Amino acid sequence: MRVGFIVGEFPLLSETFVADQMAGLLARGFDVEVVCDRTKGDDRIDRQSEPMATLLARTQHWWRWAAGLSKFVRRLPPRLRYKASTALDAVFARRLNRCDVIVAHFGQNGERAAALKKWKVLKPPVITIFHGADVAIPARQAVLSTQYAGLIKHGTLNLPVNDYFRTMLLEAGLSQSSTTVHHMGIDSLEIGYRWESWEGTQLVVTTVCRLVEKKGVEFALRALASLKASHPEIDWRYDIIGDGPLRMDLEKLALELGLAGRVTFLGSLPHAEVKQRLRKAHLFLLPSITASDGDMEGIPVALMEAMAAGLIAVSTYHSGIPELIEDRETGLLAPERDVSLLAGKLAWAAEHPAECERIALAARRKVEEDFNADALNERFAQIVIQLAAQGFAPEPARHVGVAEGLADPSSAG
């Protein structure tokens, strides 16, 4: 069975969940091909090891030999740009009709496929996976229903990564029957669980993220400054791993708040060093917020990884995060932008390491049970099989045998 993935840029280190889903289908015997606008030359991605080597060998630019036209098309006025890009998509869409199912990551790529369905150029059923900005920003701008008008009429299945986004999509006009939640997950078996109490020692707080507005690092700094003032007896340090457009502003803020001796901006680090630093940390702080342009998180993979590793996740009631974290059960949550309550959560954690051990164990179980990448990839494989079984015949009708042991397609949830 052949599955075609439509993505914008591939591969991206910030979108490992896309490659992991592709790898999950490969491992189950599916034939995967990738169509994208740009290939990313990121030295941090190992392009020689499997499954990435196989995926890259099956990756093509959407417009193939005409890819150079993209710069010209982007400079056209919006309406003409849409017509030109759709025409070029139609010219090069034929090879996608060799697939049994099309999977588009991010709503804009799903809408692109839906335009071809509208003109009867693209034949396979289209699954669109919504992740965050592709729902939240057009919802803030009140254009969600118009931006995805094609998917409302021609999309086969829509899979937002959390229930918060599903509600937004239903309000925009997508049907109940075509829209269901499908979480992203992690391989918790690759992450060793380790609990170490901070009683009698320095509390190590860590954040790993891109330094952009929605990550809420500003409020992490303000909450820690409040903690320093209200609980001077608590010994803590804060390590921030990652880079981004707000780094200079955040470094300046840390100085203004008097945190220079407690906060370290480490920048982007190799994955091995990130793992090493996480093993030495106690709390993982990610107070996500809705950005000024409406951008939101889905359910951050970084939180899942921290919880699997035994860290106490401290975050916010934001987007789908409460689907992962229940306050005082699997982590700690405060309202968005509430510095006082966030500082209170940090103080409580610092003063209750014994109770936090119970939370850490429950968090590990939550990730293993509900955000297990292998189980989620199995469910996704069944969804693909079920759609393909509804009667579409690809051209040419060539199928690769699916691995033995898959459940009946009717069991897909």
Q: What is the 3-state secondary structure (H, E, C) of the chain?
A: CEEEEECCEECCHHHHHHHHHHHHHHHCCCEEEEEECEECCCCCCCCCCCCHHHHHHCEEECCHHHHHHHHHHHCCCHHHHHHHHHHHHHHHCHHHHHCCEEEEECHHHHHHHHHHHHCCCCCCCEEEEECCHHHHHHHHCCCHHHHCHHHHHHCCEEEECCHHHHHHHHHHCCCCCCECCCCCCECHHHCCCCCCCCCCCCEEEEEECCCCHHHCHHHHHHHHHHHHHHCCCCCEEEEEEECCCCHHHHHHHHHHCCCCCCEEEEECCCHHHHHHHHHCCCEEECCCCCCCCCCCCCCCHHHHHHHHHCCEEEEECCCCHHHHCCECCCEEEECCCCHHHHHHHHHHHHHCHHHHHHHHHHHHHHHHHHCEHHHHHHHHHHHHHHHHCCCCCCCCCCCCCCCCCCCCHHHCC
What pLDDT does 386 receive?
94
Question: Does residue 215 come out as left (phi exceeding 0), alpha (psi in the -120 to 50 range) or beta?
Answer: alpha
Q: What is the pLDDT of residues 356-386, one digit of tens each?
A: 999 999 999 999 999 999 999 999 999 999 9
What pLDDT does 44 receive?
74
d(CA 387, CA 398): 16
Residue 410 in this model has a pLDDT that exceeds 60: no
**Angle made by CA atoms 49, 188, 26, in degrees to the nearest 5:** 40
Residue 157 in this model has a pLDDT that exceeds 70: yes
What pLDDT does 404 receive?
29
Query: Cβ distance 208 to 274 under 8 Å?
Result: yes
What pLDDT does 272 receive?
83
Amino acid at 184: M
Q: How many angstroms from the chain centroid is the CA of residue 324? A: 13
* pLDDT classification of 94: cutoffs 50, 70, 90: confident
What pLDDT does 408 receive?
33
d(CA 126, CA 123): 9
What are the two backbone dihedrals, phi and then psi, of residue 3, each rounded to the nearest 5 degrees? Answer: -120, 125
Entry field: residues in the chain: 413
Q: Is the Cα dihedral 261, 263, 266, 272 positive or negative?
A: positive
Give the pLDDT mean for 219-228: 98
Residue 245 in this model has a pLDDT that exceeds 80: yes
d(CA 23, CA 185): 13
Q: How many angstroms from the chain centroid is the CA of residue 355? A: 30
Query: Cβ distance 215 to 209 under 8 Å?
Result: yes
Q: What is the pLDDT of residues 298-320, one digit of tens each?
A: 999 999 999 999 999 999 999 99
d(CA 180, CA 167): 10
Residue 249 in this model has a pLDDT that exceeds 50: yes
**pTM: predicted TM-score of the whole model, two decimal places:** 0.90
Amino acid at 198: W
Place of tokens 């320095």: 202
* pLDDT classification of 391: cutoffs 50, 70, 90: low
For the ranges 39-53, 84-98, 202-216, the lowest mean pLDDT is seen at 39-53
Report which of 251, 302, 380, 309 is spatially closest to residue 13, judged by C-alpha positions.
Answer: 302
Amino acid at 291: A
> CA dihedral defined by 371, 377, 381, 383, rounded to 10 degrees?
20
What pLDDT does 405 receive?
30
* pLDDT classification of 402: cutoffs 50, 70, 90: very low
Q: Is the previous residue joined to 396 through a cis bond, with omega within 30 degrees of 0?
A: yes
What pLDDT does 399 receive?
31
What tokens does 34 get? 């990738």
d(CA 223, CA 43): 35
d(CA 258, CA 279): 27
Give the pLDDT mean for 339-354: 98
Residue 181 in this model has a pLDDT that exceeds 50: yes
Query: Cβ distance 288 to 297 under 8 Å?
Result: yes
